[in-house]
Amino acid sequence: MNPYKKLAAALDNRMSVHASSAVAGMPAELGTITAGGLKLDGFKHEISDYYVADWMTKLFLPSFSINGTVTGLLSGNVPVTGQGRFAFSESEVEDVRIAFQSGLKIGDRVLAIPVNDGNDVVILCKVVK
C-alpha cells in the first residue's frame, strides 16, 4: 500500500474523531418562544435570558419588475403622479444583516444550542414545517 495513502487515511480518521468530539458537547435542540422567554423541549425550566445569533450575509436580487404609483416627482417644476411599471436589474448587496430576533413571536419554534456548559443558550434560527 502507498505510505502516503496510509498516512492520509490515518489523518482523516483522527480528524473525524476530533471533529465529532468537538460538536458532541453542543447538541442542537428545538424550543418554543414563550411569553417569558424560551422553553427548550429537553429542559423543564423556561429560560428568560438567552442569546440570538446575528447573521450577516450577501443578498443576491434577481432582475424583477413591479407595478406601482409615482408621486413626488417633478418634471421641471410640475409635479408628476400616476401609475408605472418599475424595472430593477439583477444586483448584489453586501453586508445585509438578518435580525430575526425582532420577528420572533410567542409560539415560534426555534433551533437553539446550549453553550458555556449549559449556562447560556443561543437561538440559531426560527424553524417551520
CA distance linking residue 86 with residue 68, whole number of Å: 7
Q: Yes or no: say if 61 and 93 are a contact pair by the CB < 8 Å rule.
A: yes
Per-residue burial over 84-108, b if 16 or more Cβ lie within 10 Å, else e, is eeeeeeeeeeeeeeeeeeeeeeeeb
- Residue 101: pLDDT over 60: yes
- Where residue 54 falls among pLDDT bands split at 50, 70, 90? confident
Q: How many residues does the chain have?
A: 129
Please name the residues in contact with 119: beta carbons below 8 A apart, sequence gap of 6 or more: none
Residue 13 — pLDDT band, cuts 50, 70, 90?
Answer: low
Give me the mean pLDDT over the 103-119 stretch: 90
- pTM for the predicted model, two decimal places: 0.60
What is the rounded average pLDDT of the residues 15-25?
51
The sign of the torsion formed by the CA atoms of 40, 127, 49, 95 equals positive
Q: What is the pLDDT of residues 85-98, one digit of tens each?
A: 999 999 999 998 88
